[in-house]
Amino acid sequence: MNLPTEVRYRPYTDWTDGEKTKIKENVGKSPWRASYHIEPETGLLNDPNGFSYFNGKFQLFYQSWPFGAAHGLKQWVHTESEDLVHFTETGVKLLPDHENDSHGAYSGSAYQIGDKLFIFYTGNVRDENWIRDPRQIGAWMDKNYKIKKIDKVLIKKPTDVTEHFRDPQIFDYKGQFYAIIGAQNHNKQGFIKFYKAVDNDVENWVEVGDLDFGGTGSEYMIECPNIVFVDGKPVLLYCPQGLDKAELDYNNIYPNTYKIFQDFDPEKAALVGGTPIINLDYGFEAYATQGFNTPDGRALIVSWIGLPDVDYPTDKYDYQGAMSLVKELSIKDGKLYQYPVEAITSLRTRQEDFSEKTATTNTYELELNFQANTQTELVLFADQEGNGLSLTVDTAKGKVILDRSKAGEQYATDFGTSRECTLDAGQAATANIFVDNSIVEIFFNKGEKVFTSRVFPSAEQTGIKVASGNVSGHYFDLKSVSYTHLTL
């Protein structure tokens, strides 16, 4: 949604109760609100931030501009969870209310240190000529969820980067705190800066160097870099904007990618023995994925179901964006698997054998089996004519195609209306499909390949149809998650 700069950067205190009520009423008219995914009460939700474990609970912030479906004066909205499925919005916010984040609290991470949560993020600051000064800054949140910002800038913009320098991730490796930050050099190439906390003091950082991860610099910016450790292997998650498609086949405006490495050498700022760059998600919408290692060593990730610089059908209802399901990472046969946390099964209510349905609530899970050397087309959000979201699974050729060209309101069609990936040819396959009114998350072979997408169906598109072939499995009704909004 295109809104004037003076609207998008209008101080929060200038918005009247009447204006806020009007925005809420407009959001309430949407036919596409999610049932068990986090969505904003109003306005924009984008990057997951500060994903961490603190005070005996999981912490997840999301970046937000609450006054419309546009990127404006950003804040962080805080949620917490005990099971990573049921999240509670606490009313706590990281607001753009300091000289070091005057034009937005941009993305970052968090880590429990002692009895407080250290929040590390980018402060967006603009001068009178609208020139940006990105500042890596911090705050402490206590166990009563009171946030106190650190007055000084923790990492200033180095001379070898442009104004594009953001998204610090703090992580612990063998008892030492490190941080990586996405950057762009003066040749308009993306790279990653690597820092070390001096004497493990997270208010004092020193640059170690540019992270060596085998990047080519074909992208013009790297956003949201994260290092997580999966089964002892370092995995780099990142969003290389403008990546040369000769390097990776992708269709979305910007890709969300990863590499698995054999080792990490912090003294040399190097990730060692990496795979080629790989798509993290093959669907239409997954970006800004954030991951962290839990105290018990698990690697968890969550993504923004949305993309920068794309208009969505919900924009006219003054909101946009959602959080993905939280997924746990594992590595099998050298491949990165991602699958929703176990507690997702707590949403299952009624179970039945899979069959075609003329109408559902569009809030369900399918657990399906596709036999080897077969071809099946399944249509979700199907109407009476059989139009909807087409999923073709060809186990003979080892190919999956997701086509939304006949599913509801069309958008972002400049980037194509289908997405595909490969599976092992000649092998049987499984799929767990989570449908949530306007969100679809599909996990093949328990997370070997993943498709995350938005679909905005018409009122008549509520069925499930087997257009060709055969498929077996189960259908589960999923109950709604009670999610109280305290944002606006």
| b (16+ CB within 10 A) / e for 129-138 | eeebbbbbbb
Q: Do 185 and 143 meet the contact criterion of CB atoms below 8 Å apart?
A: no
**Distance (Å, rounded) from C-alpha 400 to C-alpha 370?**
11
* Phi, psi torsion values for 316, nearest 5 degrees: -70, -15
Q: Do 134 and 40 meet the contact criterion of CB atoms below 8 Å apart?
A: no
Q: Do 180 and 167 meet the contact criterion of CB atoms below 8 Å apart?
A: no
**Distance (Å, rounded) from C-alpha 75 to C-alpha 66?**
9
437 dihedral zone (left: phi>0; alpha: psi -120 to 50; beta) = left
Per-position DSSP letters for 110-153, written without gaps between them: EEEETTEEEEEEEEEEE-TT--EEEEEEEEEE-TT--EEE-SS-
**Distance (Å, rounded) from C-alpha 465 to C-alpha 383?**
9
Question: Residues with Cβ < 8 Å from 48, sequence gap 6 or more?
Answer: 60, 61, 62, 63, 288, 289, 290, 302, 303, 304, 323
**Distance (Å, rounded) from C-alpha 245 to C-alpha 17?**
47
CA distances from 263 to 25, 213, 271, 277, 293 (A): 52, 11, 6, 16, 16
Structure tokens at 364: 């369900």
**Distance (Å, rounded) from C-alpha 116 to C-alpha 139?**
10
Beta-bridge partners for 292: 300
Say whether 47 is catalytic: yes
Provide the residue count of the chain.
488
CA distances from 344 to 37, 84, 99, 285 (A): 11, 8, 41, 21
Structure tokens at 400: 């999956």
Question: Residues with Cβ < 8 Å from 109, sequence gap 6 or more?
Answer: 49, 50, 51, 52, 119, 120, 121, 168, 169, 170, 171, 226, 290, 292
Please pick, among 47, 210, 383, 403, the residue that the annotation labels catalytic: 47
CA distances from 176 to 119, 185, 266, 450 (A): 17, 27, 10, 33
**Distance (Å, rounded) from C-alpha 21 to C-alpha 478?**
31
Single out the residue of 363, 284, 315, 330 nearest to residue 37, CA to CA. Answer: 363
Task: Quote the longest CA-to-CA distance of the chain.
Answer: 66
Which residues are identified as catalytic? 47
